[in-house]
């Protein structure tokens, strides 16, 4: 629990799972979500989800971009990648119109193929062998504390459950600000595994 005036160190001011990121990926399928969030208009064209390569490049090179892919990348028909509604999403500064999401060459222009290959990769032996490393970061012992710091996995203190005593805040303005922060910028999942050995044993038993 943080005392008044204290602020723990963190590496990322935003969170990997937020309503904004879901709206970002689903802007073509559910444009009403972004329109409501953006006061009746779409975000600027350069910030919209327009290309797999551009999105990957941003996440790989920018410390402020920590988007988590949504389930639609691995399941379904890939319709969220197509602008079936013919929405006017604007024109980027490179003069390209934002329409269907630009897919990587290996997808051969087919959104169904893209999703299937993404799912194949997710279910591959390589991912299975390293899945525990992701679990360590999200639900496990690398979620908080020194292990999280060593793994470059520290987020804003308000994203962690129990960091702030909500019931103890009497100032309505401060309370509302904290609620908005948590609601719009995400929250870390509940801490479940204290050691990799626990769930590795469980997975081996299930398999």
Q: Which residues, in sequence order, are bridge partners of residue 119?
A: none
pLDDT of residue 2: 46
Query: Which parts of the chain register pLDDT below 50?
Result: 1-2, 4-5, 206
pLDDT tens digits, 98-114: 999 999 999 999 999 99
pLDDT tens digits, 71-82: 999 999 999 999
Residue 63 buriedness (CB in 10 A; 0-12 / 13-18 / 19+): exposed
pTM, two decimals, is 0.82
pLDDT of residue 78: 98
Q: Where are the domains of the chain?
A: 19-122, 125-206
In total, the chain counts a number of residues equal to: 207
Structure-token pair, residue 133: 């490393």
> 140 Cβ partners below 8 Å, 6+ apart?
192, 193, 194, 195, 196, 199
């Amino acid at each position: 629990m943080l005392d008044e005036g204290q602020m723990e160190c963190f590496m990322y001011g935003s969170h990997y799972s937020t309503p904004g990121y879901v709206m970002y990926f689903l802007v073509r399928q559910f444009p009403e979500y972004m329109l409501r969030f953006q006061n009746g208009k779409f975000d600027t064209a350069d910030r919209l989800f327009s290309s797999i390569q551009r999105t990957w490049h941003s996440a790989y090179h920018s410390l402020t971009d920590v988007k988590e892919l949504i389930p639609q990348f691995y399941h379904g028909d890939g319709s969220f990648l197509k602008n079936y509604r013919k929405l006017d999403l604007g024109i980027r500064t490179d003069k390209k119109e934002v329409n269907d999401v630009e897919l990587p060459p290996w997808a051969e222009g087919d959104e169904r193929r893209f999703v299937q290959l993404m799912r194949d990769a997710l279910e591959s032996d390589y991912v299975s062998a390293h899945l525990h490393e992701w679990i360590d970061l999200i639900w496990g012992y690398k979620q908080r504390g020194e292990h999280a710091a060593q793994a470059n996995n520290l987020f804003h203190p308000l994203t962690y459950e129990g960091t702030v005593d909500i019931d103890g805040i009497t100032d309505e303005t401060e309370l509302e600000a904290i609620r908005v922060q948590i609601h719009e910028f995400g929250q870390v999942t509940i801490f479940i595994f204290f050691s990799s050995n626990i769930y590795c044993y469980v997975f081996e038993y299930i398999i």
